[in-house]
């Protein structure tokens, strides 16, 4: 029990410290490359924090548990908005440039709708999986090319208070922060699982709480740290980019490995929950643009939205638990 407690304390401490390193490195890369913080959040930050989901998806797919991998992708998207974005907003409301994020939110809504069409027959095929990966490549090219043409994003980069590290040191800081972020989240989850077993907590409850939340710890730590340091575009870009990556890469992998038959609950409970939270995130940005506290071209997303996201996330877990 002492070892488990030590693992939890050490894991949490390293998680907080590594998240700070990770975000400082990412923000410095944004400055050095002349890129918008939201683009950095949607690309290298979101791909880095989604690494655990990719590993789970690959392992599950090649172990014959493809449905678990698909559930992991959808569940991660639900957690990214309901838990990660919700908790971030409860800690610190954020301001974002509406024009900078409007296009990315429209893409996310479109990809979410297309994912629903792919899952509509309760089967995910290899063709659909390859199409998802191709769509991811096209989306990334579209976003990066749009970055070079959009003067609003360039202006945003110049006005954002980004740290200034040399390029080599920025990438090294980013890489070390990412590795420690993933490793510390694993250490924290391991300690929590051991402690739960020793305390007699049922395995089902451990899976629904400790392990599920544990896979979202990198996103949670990176997003909260970004928002608290004032890099709000990196924070929301991480959530949007991670959700895009989950739908078009993490969910695609099991379909590519073999045809996947899905349980009816995926379409009746899980996908609608994800789609609802995605639509509410877009709505929060739209409504936030009309708030008096928002500056010209800005959207204010506050604690009301955060409370709604966390409440819906808790409701989803209640539905999940009650259906078992």
- Domain positions in the chain: 38-160+218-322
- What does the alpha-carbon distance between residue 105 and residue 213 come to, in Å, rounded to a whole number? 24
Written as tens digits, the pLDDT of the chain (324 aa) is 788 778 877 877 777 677 677 777 777 776 677 777 677 777 777 777 776 667 667 766 777 766 767 777 888 889 889 998 999 899 888 888 777 678 888 999 999 999 999 888 888 888 888 999 898 888 888 877 765 555 444 444 444 555 667 888 888 888 888 888 778 777 877 777 777 777 776 654 565 556 566 667 777 877 887 787 777 777 888 888 889 988 988 888 888 888 777 778 788 888 999 999 999 999 998 888 777 776 777 788 888 999 999 999 999 888 877 776
CB 248 within 8 A of CB 111: yes
The residue written with tokens 């890099």 in the block is 231
- What does the alpha-carbon distance between residue 242 and residue 44 come to, in Å, rounded to a whole number? 10
**Which CATH architecture fits 38-160+218-322?**
Up-down Bundle (1.20)
Amino acid 151: pLDDT: 47
3-class SS at 201?
coil
- For residue 192, which of 176, 208, 179 has the smallest C-alpha distance? 208
The residue written with tokens 């913080």 in the block is 37
């Amino acid at each position: 029990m002492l070892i488990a407690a030590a693992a939890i304390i050490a894991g949490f401490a390293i998680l907080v410290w590594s998240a700070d390193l990770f975000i400082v490195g990412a923000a410095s890369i944004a400055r050095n490359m002349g890129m918008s913080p939201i683009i950095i959040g949607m690309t290298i930050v979101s791909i880095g924090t989604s690494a655990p989901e990719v590993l789970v998806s690959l392992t599950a797919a090649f172990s014959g548990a493809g449905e678990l991998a698909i559930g992991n992708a959808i569940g991660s998207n639900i957690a990214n908005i309901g838990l990660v974005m919700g908790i971030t907003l409860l800690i610190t409301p954020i301001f974002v440039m509406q024009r900078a994020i409007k296009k990315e939110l429209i893409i996310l809504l479109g990809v979410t709708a297309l994912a629903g069409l792919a899952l509509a027959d309760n089967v995910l095929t290899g063709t659909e999986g390859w199409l998802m990966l191709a769509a991811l490549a096209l989306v990334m090219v579209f976003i990066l090319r749009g970055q070079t043409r959009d003067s609003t994003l360039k202006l945003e980069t110049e006005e954002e208070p980004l740290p200034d590290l040399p390029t080599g040191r920025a990438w090294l800081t980013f890489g070390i922060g990412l590795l420690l972020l993933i490793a510390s989240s694993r250490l924290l989850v391991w300690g929590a699982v051991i402690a739960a077993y020793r305390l007699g907590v049922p395995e089902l409850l451990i899976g629904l709480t400790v392990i599920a939340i544990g896979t979202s710890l990198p996103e949670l730590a990176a997003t909260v740290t970004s928002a608290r340091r004032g890099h709000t575009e990196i924070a929301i870009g991480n959530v949007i980019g991670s959700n895009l990556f989950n739908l078009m890469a993490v969910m695609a992998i099991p379909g590519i490995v073999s045809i996947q038959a899905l349980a009816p609950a995926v379409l009746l409970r899980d996908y609608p929950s994800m789609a609802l939270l995605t639509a509410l995130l877009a709505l929060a940005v739209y409504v936030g643009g009309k708030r008096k506290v928002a500056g010209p071209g800005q959207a204010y997303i506050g604690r009301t939205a955060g409370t709604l996201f966390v409440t819906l996330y808790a409701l989803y877990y209640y539905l999940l638990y009650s259906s078992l």
